[in-house]
Structure formats: structure tokens, C-alpha cells
Amino acid sequence: MDDPVRPSVDERLRRAGLPGLPRSAWLEIDQDALTDNLRAVRGLVGPDVEVSAVVKADGYGHGLEVAARTFAAAGATRLCVATLDEALALRRAGVRAPVLILFAIPAAEVRMAVAEGFELVAADPHSALGILAAWRRAPEAASAGSRGLALHLEVETGLTRAGIILEGVADVAGAISDTLGARLAGIWSHLASAERPDTSAEQERVLLAAAEALRAAGIPPPSVHLAASGGLFAGTSPHHGMVRPGLCLYGELADELPISAAARGAASALRPAMTLKARALRILEVPTGTAVGYGGRWRAERPSRIATLPVGYGDGWIRGYQPGASALVQGRRVPLAGTIAMDALAVDVTDVPGVGLEDEFVLLGSQGEACLSARELALRRDTIAWEVLVGMAHRLPRVYHSGREVTGIRTSVGEVLVKADPQVRAARRPERDGFRSRREDDEGWAE
């Protein structure tokens, strides 16, 4: 059985005045963990370094809007996304923090991006000049002032993905400087192998050479940033004036990353914020020899109890995790039985007496002393923790909580219902029949 002191997720949602779950599989997102992880990074870099929290890819699967609000409330200087529509989603949700879009946007959208206050990236000469040309045609360029086009110039330092080569940075920065209403906001790059001091040092050398070239040209960059989670915790990249933590804010680090002595305290403070839970649809007693799942590849070697969970590869719990994958129930591991399907999988609960339909199973996260980490799942399919987290499907409901209090829910139809307090502001009124919210003047809930 689950912790008898902690109410079920259904009861916690009911107490919060929120709708019930549309299915018996869901993600729980711990906002306290998100907050504490941001503060651990802040403690590592000190008060004078800007912390730009990366919330791209739906906040690494945790939920773009809630992750953004939580990090902003915890002290993030700005938010980083990958695409224009991610940035717009934040504005539509009422998030007013500064936003940096890390990849180039279409030139046709520059006016709108500037109007929203987004900071953009000059990732290569062609796109940079296209963005500048589009801005020059904008009527507001002449009177934009400090609210004009802010560009972070990306330098090619060795990742060989995007960026302007060292010999070309002064020309692009000069074009920015010569454009009315445009300004150079910073220069940056991204480490290719944060765990390797030699290659990281070479990338930093190139970035600093670019900064020096700009100073020599009379265009000193206001900001230089290189370190993300890997560089921060491996100590392979100085903080400079700004860092861009991503994975670590969600409580994970790369498996192969060596932690520097200076970062060990912060690393030990990180807590995973995501847990994937499910309740069984049925528990069936089967005789020896019974085949389970597509293809009948698994057969019971003894009289067994088989629990069907409503989670499958359509939810991001993919077939690559088998064979040998497991789930947690009552704080114990139980093995998968049969093939993972799109919407369901089966587990053998024979060795855990008393498992019932009310029990919560965990397929990612901790239960009691047992843990199924994103790293473990990543190693099962020769991938990385990033992919495990962002692979959690949008159709999985997200239940947000702070301590024992549920703060919101997001379902596959897109609602975000959160308590209107100073840290987390409410977003949209739910439109689906049966989903309701309280008005802002009714116990602090927003419509």
C-alpha cells in the first residue's frame, strides 16, 4: 500500500478544487524541487552571475509554463527557449521575465519578437543579416530605444552546430552596431564535451578571442556566456557573467560527468522533480504457461499475478526499455511481463503480496527507498537522461505540487490550473466540460 498519511492524488486534487485525473497514469512535478535546484545553482555561481534557466522542450518535459514561473520566482535572471512559439507560449501565459530564443527565428517574425521583448540569436552570417534587414524595414526601428532588437552573437567554438567563425564575428557585430535600434546583447557558445577539460578550454579560448576581437573593433560585448549544466558542475567552464543551466534544474546530471570539488555541495542538493505514476487497470491471476502481451514472448513460469498499467510507448515509456525493465510498487521492484504496447504494459506482482488496484506504481522516480532514475532508463536504451525527460508525452497529465499541496494540473487538452500566489500565477480558464476553476476572489484561485 502507499503511504497511509499521504492522501491519494484524487483526494489531493479534490481538496484543491481541481478536476480529477482523466486517466490512471500521470506525472507528478515537484515545484519545491525545481525551486531548490535553481537555488543550488545560484549558490554555486554567486550573486553577481546571471542565471538564465533553460525551459525549452516543454520545460524538459515538466511543463513549460509552470517551470518558467517557478524558476523566475526562485531568482532566474531570464528564461531560455529554443523556438519562437515556446517564447510566445510564455507571454500568452503571462510570464513577463526576459526570454532568450537560442536558435535563429524567421526574419519575418522579428518585429513581433521585438515587440514581445524577446532576445534573439545571431547564429550565422546569413540569418543574422536577414534579421537585421527585416528590422531596418520596421517602422519602429528608429524609435525603439532600449526596447529594440537585442542580439546574442553565437560563436563557432567547436560544437560545429551553429555559430559564426572567429574571423567573422567583428563583421557581424559591426552590422548589428550599425543598425538603428539594434544592439549586441552578448556573445556565447556551447560546450561539446563538458566532461573534457582540454576541449572545453579550447572552446573557451576561441570565445574569449572573439570577445577580444570585438573590443578591439570598439564593440565590447556586454555579456559572455558558455557554461550550461555540464560546464557548471564539471568546473570546465568559468561562469563569466552568465550561465545557462538546463538539465540540472530538473534534478539530473549527465551520467559520465565528473563533479568538481567546488560543485559537490550543489550537486548533492539537486533533486529530481518528475515522477511517473500509474494505478493498475486490473490484476489477474494466471496459471503456469500463460502468454502475456503481443507475440506471446513472455510466459508465466509459475502461477502469477499480472498487473496491467495504462502506460506505454505512446506516453514515452518506450519498447527500448525492455527486456529487464521494472516498475516500483510498495517500495519494491517488480519486473515487466511481456511487450510494452502503445497504451499499456504488464508487470509481474507475484512476489509482492497484497498489491491492489488502489496502489500507485512508479515507472520513473522514487518510492520509499527504491528508485528508478532517468539515468537508469537512459542506460537501458543507450541514450541520455535529457531524452528520457523530454520524451514524456504531452498526453500524460501533469500534477504539480508544493509539499503535500497540489498547485495545478495540466491535461492533454492543454489546461493549466494553478493557485494564484506570488510564485505561480494562474493561466487559462479550462474549457472542457466537467473541468472547472475558482474565480480569483474565491480562496485565491484564478479563472
Distance of alpha carbon 198 from alpha carbon 221, whole angstroms: 25
Nearest CA to 69 among 49, 104, 106, 94? Answer: 94
Distance of alpha carbon 401 from alpha carbon 417, whole angstroms: 12
Contacts of residue 394, defined as CB under 8 A and 6 or more positions apart, other chains included, come to 58, 412
Nearest CA to 307 among 273, 341, 336? Answer: 336
> What are the E-state strand segments in 240-339?
242-243, 274-279, 282-286, 291-292, 298-299, 304-309, 326-329, 332-335
Is 277 one of the catalytic residues? no
Q: What are the phi and psi torsion angles at 11 (to 5°)?
A: -70, -40
Catalytic residue (choose from 56, 60, 277, 321): 56
Is 294 one of the catalytic residues? yes
Nearest CA to 80 among 93, 94, 95? Answer: 95
Number of H helices, E strands in the chain: 13, 22
Q: Which three cell numbers stand for residue 282?
A: 486490473
Q: Tell me, what DSSP letter sits at residue 250? A: G
ω into residue 323 within 30 of 0, thus cis?
A: yes
Nearest CA to 211 among 185, 187, 175, 244? Answer: 187
> What are the E-state strand segments in 155-280?
182-188, 224-225, 242-243, 274-279
Nearest CA to 217 among 262, 261, 182, 184? Answer: 184
Contacts of residue 227, defined as CB under 8 A and 6 or more positions apart, other chains included, come to 191, 237, 238, 239, 240, 243, 244
Instruction: Decide: 399 and 411 in contact? Cβ < 8 Å.
Output: no
Catalytic residue (choose from 250, 294, 313, 321): 294
Contacts of residue 264, defined as CB under 8 A and 6 or more positions apart, other chains included, come to none
Count CA atoms closer than 13 A to 190's CA, side-chain side.
Answer: 15
Nearest CA to 83 among 62, 110, 52, 56? Answer: 56
Distance of alpha carbon 134 from alpha carbon 149, whole angstroms: 11
Nearest CA to 300 among 311, 314, 289, 285? Answer: 289
Distance of alpha carbon 338 from alpha carbon 409, whole angstroms: 32
Q: List, by residue number, the catalytic residues.
A: 56, 294
